[in-house]
Amino acid sequence: MTTISETSVPRSRKRVDGWRWTGRIFLALMLLYTAVPMVWMLLTSIKSGFAAMQFPPQWWPSEPTFASYQKLLDPQNSVGQDFLRFFWNSLFVSVCTTILAVAVAVPAAYAFSRFHFPGRRFLFFAVLLRNMFPAVIFLVPLFILMRLLGLVNTHGSLILTYLTFGLPLAIWLLKGFYDNIPIQLEQAARIDGATRFQAFLLIVTPLSVPGIIATAIYSFIGAWNEYIYAATFLTKNEQLTLPVGIQRFFSENTTDFPGLMAASFMMSVPVVVLFLILQKYFVRALTEGAVKH
């Protein structure tokens, strides 16, 4: 979190600086815009269904209750059973995607950074171009492809798909990292008798751990939040991931807003916590991968 503060300019604080006040007011407004929806989600989630449906609204819940959370987390209850299963499914798919994405992106990014094989630039941009195409275009053909591979209604179909849409940015981020690791380190290892692969595995990979963490966060968040493929490829209730599961569930219970807000909150917790803990790696990877000139 301190990466930026280290480099910021110490400025004199004597003059009343109009720009500084503009900045403060602007930040206050942005904080309001960002936080109000999240705070309202939390406040609603601890109201009873009756208290949520009042006009004028209860700005502060008069009788806070954790009933919605209890219902979602109770494995005896049918709602809780579904929710916990969706949660587990999301976790499984996201973790598998993350591991595979790192395993595929690391060698590719290394090659794009170090080797000068013909067609390197073409392939690199072809990989990046993938980023441009929307999921909808791929839905029908991928569905047919998954049927050919026998993956319809399995989590494998999602993992394979998520892998491809996460790869381009992952490779791009990691390439920036490898570009910044001095080649002399590997050359020294080669002189000492290591093969190129050994140098890659033993010298370069440990140094690129921050980049790998950033790639992993990116893949995990992408897989955790994905909706459209999951909505198309999975039809059995017990296999749904959270975004689809929540949507299916609340299209049947349209008025349970406290429950909906509690579910939205629970769904956001893992990714938000993960991101907040590891965000410095992510910002650093963007700095080195995407932004340097």
Partner 1 sequence: MSTLAGHAVAPGKPLAANPGVLQRMWSSRADYLYVLPAIVVMLIVIAYPIYYTIELSFFKTPPGLQLRDKIFVGADNYTAIISSDVFWRVTLNTVIWTFASTLIAFVLGYGAALALHRDFAGRAVLRAILIIPWVISAVAASYIWKWIYHSDFGIVGAVLVQLGIVDRQPNFIDNVHTVLPSLIVVNIWREFPFAMIMVMAGLQTVPEQLLRAAKVDGASAWQRFWHVTFPHLRSVSTVTILLLAVANFNSFIIPWIMTGGGPSNASHIWITHIYELAFGRQRWGVAAAYSVLLFVILMVLGYFYVRALSGNEKREQGA
Query: 55 or 192: whose CB is closer to partner 1?
Result: 55
Q: Provide CB contacts within 8 A for 64, sequence distance 6+.
A: 46, 47
* Structural contact between residues 242 and 219, judged by C-beta atoms closer than 8 angstroms: no
Shortest distance, position 76 Cβ to partner 1, whole Å = 25
Shortest distance, position 283 Cβ to partner 1, whole Å = 6
Residue type, 121: R
**Contact stretch for partner 1 (CB under 8 A) within 18-26, 64-72, 79-87, 208-216:** 18-26
| Cα separation, 261 vs 46, whole angstroms | 9
- Candidate residues 131, 235, 237, 253; the one interacting with partner 1 per rule CB under 8 A: 131
Whose CA is closest to 283, among 26, 5, 23? 5
96 CA to centre of own chain: 14
Residue 48 in the binding site for partner 1 (CB under 8 A): no
- Candidate residues 16, 75, 76, 134; the one interacting with partner 1 per rule CB under 8 A: 134
* Structural contact between residues 257 and 44, judged by C-beta atoms closer than 8 angstroms: yes
- Candidate residues 46, 52, 214, 240; the one interacting with partner 1 per rule CB under 8 A: 52
Residue 126 in the binding site for partner 1 (CB under 8 A): yes
Residue 147 in the binding site for partner 1 (CB under 8 A): no
Residue 211 in the binding site for partner 1 (CB under 8 A): no
Q: How many CA atoms lie within 13 A of 96 on its CB side?
A: 14
| Cα separation, 48 vs 67, whole angstroms | 8
Peptide bond just before 182 cis, omega within 30 deg: no
Q: Which of residues 101-120 bind partner 1 (CB under 8 A)?
A: 103-105, 107-108, 110-119
| Cα separation, 214 vs 12, whole angstroms | 36
> What letter would DSSP give residue 48?
-
Residue 140 in the binding site for partner 1 (CB under 8 A): yes
Residue 57 in the binding site for partner 1 (CB under 8 A): yes
Shortest distance, position 16 Cβ to partner 1, whole Å = 12
Cα-Cα-Cα-Cα dihedral sign, residues 119, 121, 122, 125: positive
Residue 34 in the binding site for partner 1 (CB under 8 A): yes
| Cα separation, 163 vs 129, whole angstroms | 15
Residue 188 in the binding site for partner 1 (CB under 8 A): no
Residue 250 in the binding site for partner 1 (CB under 8 A): yes
Shortest distance, position 121 Cβ to partner 1, whole Å = 8
**Contact stretch for partner 1 (CB under 8 A) within 63-71, 74-82, 131-139, 206-214:** 131-139
The number of residues that bind partner 1 (CB under 8 A) is: 117
Dihedral, CA of residue 71, residue 74, residue 80 and residue 84, to nearest 10: 130
Shortest distance, position 30 Cβ to partner 1, whole Å = 5
Shortest distance, position 240 Cβ to partner 1, whole Å = 12
Q: Which of residues 63-92 bind partner 1 (CB under 8 A)?
A: none
- Candidate residues 64, 66, 183, 235; the one interacting with partner 1 per rule CB under 8 A: 183
